[in-house]
Amino acid sequence: AQLRNLEGIVAQEIAALPNVSVFVGELAPRADKGRVNTALIRELFQGAQVAFINTTFWGDEVAIGTALADAAKEAQIQHYIYSSMPDHSLISPDWPALPLWASKARVESYIRSLALPATFVDTGIYNNNFTSLPYPLFCMALQPDGSFTWRAPFHPDAPLPWLDAEHDVGPAVLQLLKNGPPAPGSPPNRIALAYERLSPREACRAFSRALRRPVRYERGPIEIAVSIPSGYARQLRALEQLFSLGGPDAEAQPPYFGDMAQEESVPAAAMGLWEGYRGLEEYAREVFPLEEAANGLTWMHEPVERVERGVEGEEESDDEEEGLMMGKRRQEEWLA
């Protein structure tokens, strides 16, 4: 495993695992765009037969991703599993590219050009993106009466793919490694790793059942109330633009994975790898309160003023809009 440093609980837990060799260091100096730590990258693959690679936007993701692929090719890696995402602009000229996803798509294209025996994994929305802290896009905002409101640009009734990354990525990738690479001469495999397709309304209903308090969805622009990296701000701007397409028509919203066949393979493709998944409702009931408490929040110990289970829209007819509040556009500030 490669870690940027050994700071933090997760890094220390990984370093303490048996049969795990930890390589500590930056894959690329952040201040020198385009340069990579070639020595460390080559060292990662020494003696290895398979690899799971998930690049991030820390550093030049394309430079790091291509350098890793070159080193894997040189080391004759037998199965190269890369966590990718689509470039929507290559699928339809009317769709904007999401910058952080487009970088992964460029790396994927390079991996394909090397003819590495590869599998590409597209991941759904992580369950644990949700927080009541004021972070953008997945803020489950606590209201004065003890209810929650999630505000995002997604159509309230368009299905989205969901994944519990902490619980389910490891077992699924392990099964991919056991399954082995594509047959010689075959194109790389592509897997949609997500276990549920839930619309924002359905996601809020799952949270409401789990937390036994009202949870409502508002469709509206992404609000940024804290300082975030400039690259992530660009990603959020593009994401808001992409998922606002189609307006009131849920079926006109672009697919999260770009391709409808990939979208409709959820959850069958993932279930073929690992069936013991943790769904969004179980996450909200068993894990979300613990993560919130770890962040110093105490709402789970406080009474709900309006006692109702608040399963938003559960009893309403399909054409009713109760519980869905279209957010008023406010002054936006994209913080760097």
Residue 336 covered by a domain: no
Relative to beta strand 118-123, strand 189-193 is parallel
Q: Answer for the pair 150, 220: CB distance below 8 angstroms, yes or no.
A: no
Determine contact, residues 105/85, Cβ cutoff 8 Å.
yes
103 and 131 belong to one structural domain: no
Axis crossing angle, helix 230-244 with helix 99-113, rounded to the nearest 10: 90
Q: What is the pLDDT of residues 90-123, one digit of tens each?
A: 999 999 999 999 999 999 999 999 999 999 999 9
Q: Tell me the β-bridge partners of 121.
A: 83, 191
pLDDT tens track for 223-272: 999 999 999 999 999 999 999 999 999 999 999 999 999 999 999 999 99
- Of the two residues 302 and 164, the one the predictor is more confident about is 164
* Residue whose entry in the numeric block shows the structure tokens 């003819």: 115
Give the total residue count for the chain: 336
Q: What is the Cα–Cα distance from 263 to 65, expressed in whole angstroms?
A: 25
Q: How many domains does the chain have?
A: 2
Co-location of 214 and 251 in the same domain: yes
- Here the CATH number for the domain that contains residue 146 is 3.90.25.10
Residue 175: Cβ within 10 Å count: 13
186, part of any domain:
no
Whether 100 is covered by a domain: the verdict is yes
pLDDT at 30: 66
Q: Write out pLDDT tens, residues 57-97.
A: 877 899 999 999 999 999 999 999 999 999 999 999 999 99
Q: Is the peptide bond before 255 cis (omega within 30 degrees of 0)?
A: no
Range of the domain at 136: 125-164+195-300
Confidence grade of residue 306 (pLDDT, cut at 50, 70, 90): low
Would 175 be classed as within a structural domain? no
**Sign of the torsion angle spanned by Cα atoms 248, 250, 255, 259:** negative
Same domain, 64 and 202: no
Residues 89 and 9 in one domain: yes
> Are residues 37 and 104 located together in one domain of the fold?
yes
pLDDT band at 136 (very low <50, low <70, confident <90, very high): very high
Backbone torsions φ then ψ of 217, nearest 5 degrees: -110, 135
Domain check: are 57 and 153 in the same one?
Answer: no
- Measured distance CA(50)–CA(204) in Å, rounded: 39
For residue 292, is pLDDT > 60? yes
Query: Which of 116, 141, 174 is the last residue before a domain boundary?
Result: 116
Let me know: does 66 contact 213? Beta carbons within 8 Å: no
Output the CA torsion 281→287→293→294 (10° steps).
-140
Q: For residue 159, what pLDDT band results from cuts at 50, 70 and 90?
A: very high
* Domain assignment present for 56: yes
Domain membership of residue 325 (yes or no) is no
Examine the domain organization and report whether 138 and 60 are in the same domain: no
Rounded CA separation 113/289 (Å): 45
| 95 lies in the same domain as 149 | no
pLDDT at 128 over 90: yes
Average pLDDT of the chain, as a whole number = 90
178 in a domain, yes or no?
A: no
Query: Does one domain contain both 140 and 250?
Result: yes
In a domain, 324, yes or no: no
Both 90 and 214 in one domain: the answer is no
- CATH code of 4's domain: 3.40.50.720
pLDDT at 31 over 90: no
Query: For 178-194, what is each residue's pLDDT tens digit?
Result: 999 999 989 999 999 99
pTM here is 0.87
Q: What is the pLDDT of residue 245?
A: 96
- Residues 108 and 130 both lie in one domain: no
Are residues 129 and 82 part of one domain? no
Q: Which residues pair with 123 in a beta bridge?
A: 193
